[in-house]
Amino acid sequence: MSSGNNKLNHVGIIMDGNRRWAKKHLLSSFDGHKQGVENFKEIARYSNKIGIKNLTVYAFSTENWRRTQEEVNYLLNLFEKYLTGVLEEFDIENVKIRFIGDMSKFSQKIQDLILQIEQKSCQNTGMILNIAVNYGSREEICSAIKKISSQEFNNNITEKEISNNILSPDLDLVIRTGGEKRLSNFMLWQSAYAELYFTDILWPDFTVHDLEDALKDYSKRTRKFGGD
């Protein structure tokens, strides 16, 4: 897909604002997370429909484990229900689903569901949907370097080699909802020359029309990739 004169291959979304949305509507934080998942489904379907080739969403960061045990347990339960629903219905419109991050901290049931979904969707030819869970970009970069360093006779680590050992391609556009203006350890390597789009809209209120606004804004940018 192209947006204006700018090629658009990979969009990343930092889905922020679930808890503040819940507070605004006098609901529990759990209700906010549930609504956030429903909105994620809608945005993912629409992104596939309009021809975005790669979409990466920041679903659960390595820092999220610091939240209260009650909230972490709820998030894990919600994640498990989402995975089960994907397998039961598997109405993902030809989307190829991949999970990025350290899966080892999740229960065996969640790990098995993740594996089944990746295997079941691996032949799909539509949009690639990367779901970042227990993900941190610094850890991802460290893992790539360790992998390269372990290769025999490899004394020359290049940018190309690191990129080849990171699963997702460079980002063209990073969208962050919820009003914060930072990347929060999200795809630091891939976003080196990405355009950034920040909005005050809380994630559960972020509609397909808001996504279109972000894409239109992107189409007007002049990308220089470090040039003058």
Q: Which residue has the higher pLDDT, 60 or 81?
A: 81
pLDDT of residue 9: 93
Rounded average pLDDT over 65-78:
86
Query: Which of these is catalytic: 16, 39, 130, 134?
Result: 16
* Residue 49 in domain: yes
Query: Which of these is catalytic: 6, 9, 64, 124?
Result: 64
Centre a 10 Å sphere on the Cβ of residue 159 and count the other Cβ atoms it contains: 9
Residue 64 is a catalytic residue: yes
103: containing domain: 2-138+170-219
CATH number at residue 99: 3.40.1180.10
pLDDT of residue 152: 58
Highest mean pLDDT among 29-33, 66-70, 101-105, 216-220 belongs to: 216-220
User: Is the model's pLDDT at 73 over the cut of 50?
Assistant: yes
Q: What is the pLDDT of residues 115-158, one digit of tens each?
A: 999 998 999 889 999 999 999 899 999 988 888 887 755 667 88
User: Rounded to whole angstroms, how far apart are CA atoms 62 and 135?
Assistant: 5
Beta bridge partner(s), residue 7 = 2
Structure-block tokens of residue 115 = 């594996």
* Residue 82 in domain: yes
Count: domains in the chain: 1
Provide the pLDDT confidence category of residue 227 given band limits of 50, 70 and 90: low
* Residue 150 in domain: no
Q: How far is CA 195 from CA 38, 104, 118, 127, 200, in A?
A: 26, 32, 29, 20, 17
* Residue 154 in domain: no
The contacts of residue 195 (CB under 8 Å, 6+ apart) are 6, 172, 173, 174, 218, 221, 223
* Residue 67 in domain: yes
* Residue 155 in domain: no
Residue 77 is a catalytic residue: no
* Residue 145 in domain: no
* Residue 153 in domain: no
pLDDT of residue 2: 45
